[in-house]
Structure 1
Amino acid sequence: MALDELGTVPWTVKGELILNCNCTVFCPCVISLGKHPPTEGHCQTWGGVRIDQGAYGDIDLSGLNIGLMIEIPGMMSRGNWKVGLFIDDRSTDAQYDALVAIFSGAAKGTTGLFQILVGEILGHERQPVTYETEGKTRHITVGRKIQGVVAPVAGKDPETDLVVTNTQYWMGPDITVATASKGKLRAYGRVWDFDGRSAEICQIDWHGPR
């Protein structure tokens, strides 16, 4: 991918994203937009993305999955994030490069804020990434790096998810409040265990470069 193309290619990613962080339930960043400190004073999070429909120019991204880890030293809005990316090992070289461009923020658009907030990309690599839904429970495995099981927090009506709607959160406006029964990461020198901690489920509809 030519460097002069970055930030000019039309792209879309539609699907679902889950996050599990070290906050107690529920992460304050969703409503405060990162202006309130995480419950532990710093943020450590892993995530997974299932791409149902997606494209970068004429490169089809549909059906691929992504894993990621994010480490933030304080309030989300103050930046200095560290990010690691795990790209579906089924991806072609062109798909891999496109996904790195999108998830690093270089492709601009919805994820372009990463160019402002991320201080260091720890690395990006191919891994087998599975993202499965069983009832309301999401299961994600990223090689031997991430093992996660996330489900919505029960509301008064057990058939209806507890959702924070109409937010200005970067992922999307409607965030399902969730928790992780399993949330383990071992990557880039980090070993995290966030079982029972806060999680989020979000339907995403991202695009760029504007």
Structure 2
Amino acid sequence: MATEWRITGDYVEACNCEVACQCVWLEPPDDDVCTVSLVWDITDGQYGETDLSGCRVAMLAHTEEGVMFAPETGWYVALLIDDEADDDQRAALEDIYLGRAGGVWAAVADAHFETTEVTTAPITFSKEDDEISSTVGDVVAMDVVGKTGFNEELGTVSPHPLAQGLEPKTGKSTTATVSYDDEFAWDVSGNNSYFSEFDLANA
């Protein structure tokens, strides 16, 4: 039986789609491929007896051509765990985000993960109202601002499996660069971003 876990906090993502990520509606992304970076700031979390509060995690992913969530679409993934996490925390976060411990990531990993690699890096995350900034060592730089509609309220989309209530807020990246290796290297600054509180668990 998988270890029971739950994590809550804030997350942000930035991808290559110009206006809104069409993956939410099972449509092909811009250029028919997805390149995306995501960062989670875990304010409260537990994996069995392991406390994950204060940990941070980043994920880089790019896909094969086609709809991101279509069964035949493969994902190539790099998971970056905060270098301040201890051995137990790192092992727990690997289990969660690589899908070994059930929950939303189990379904994603089983259906889509073609390759995965894991490393550590210092991760920063700051959020003030609808502005978010995050860095992952010298690998990721992300600055995001929320986008408002004609009613001067932040836009939202639905359904998104990672957001609390399945409804993240819409944003735009002013900076969204990734430089990990030749496979994970892109600059999608000025394009789509989503951000939200999250509440993920396997029970």
TM-score normalised over the length of structure 2:
0.92
Residue 40 of structure 2 corresponds to residue 46 of structure 1? no
Provide the residue aligned with 2:21 in structure 1.
27
Tell me which of 84, 95, 106 is aligned to 1:90.
84
Q: Return the alpha-carbon distance in structure 1 between the equivalents of residues 193 and 85 of structure 2.
A: 27
Contact 1:86 1:127 in 2 (8 A): yes
Is 1:76 equivalent to 2:68 in the alignment? yes
What percent of counterpart residues are identical?
25
1:207 matches 2:198: no
Q: Distance in 2 between matches of 1:163 and 1:77?
A: 20
Q: d(CA) in 1 for partners of 2:40 and 2:28?
A: 25
- The aligned counterpart of 1:3 is none
Structure 1 residue aligned with 2:111: 116
Instruction: Find runs of 4+ consecutive structure 1 residues off by over 3 angstroms.
Output: none
| 2:126 is equivalent to residue 128 of structure 1 | no
Structure 1 Cα separation of the partners of residues 23 and 78 of structure 2: 20
Deviations 1:114-137 (A, max 9, x none): 22211110x111100001013321
Matched, 1:12 2:3: no
Give, in whole Å, the separation in 2 of the partners of 1:196 and 1:141. Answer: 17
Corresponding residue for residue 97 of structure 2? 103
> What is the deviation of 1:202?
2.1
Quote how far apart the aligned CAs of 1:103 are.
0.6
Report the Cα distance in structure 2 between the residues aligned to 1:38 and 1:184, rounded to whole angstroms. Answer: 18
Give me the whole-angstrom Cα distance separating, in 2, the residues matched to 1:24 and 1:83. Answer: 22
Deviation at 1:110, TM superposition (A): 2.1
Secondary structure of the corresponding residue to residue 31 of structure 2: coil
Partners in 2 of 1:91 and 1:207 — Cα distance? 20
Instruction: Using structure 1 for the length normalisation, give the TM-score.
Output: 0.89
Q: Structure 1: how far apart are the matches of 2:142 and 2:58?
A: 11
What is the alpha-carbon distance in structure 2 between the residues aligned to residue 82 and residue 8 of structure 1? 25
User: Whole-Å Cα distance in 2 between the matches of residues 104 and 19 of structure 1?
Assistant: 18
Matching residue within 168, 176, 188 for 1:183: 176
The number of residues matched between the two structures is 196
SS at match of 1:98: helix
Q: CA deviation at 1:156?
A: 2.5
User: Structure 1 CA distance, aligned partners of 2:112 and 2:196?
Assistant: 21
Runs of 5+ consecutive residues of structure 2 not aligned to the other structure: none
Shift of 1:81: 0.5
Q: Which runs of 5+ in 1 are unaligned?
A: 1-6
Tell whether the 8 Å contact from 1:174 to 1:203 is kept in structure 2 after alignment: no
Does residue 63 of the first structure (1) align with residue 58 of the second (2)?
Answer: no
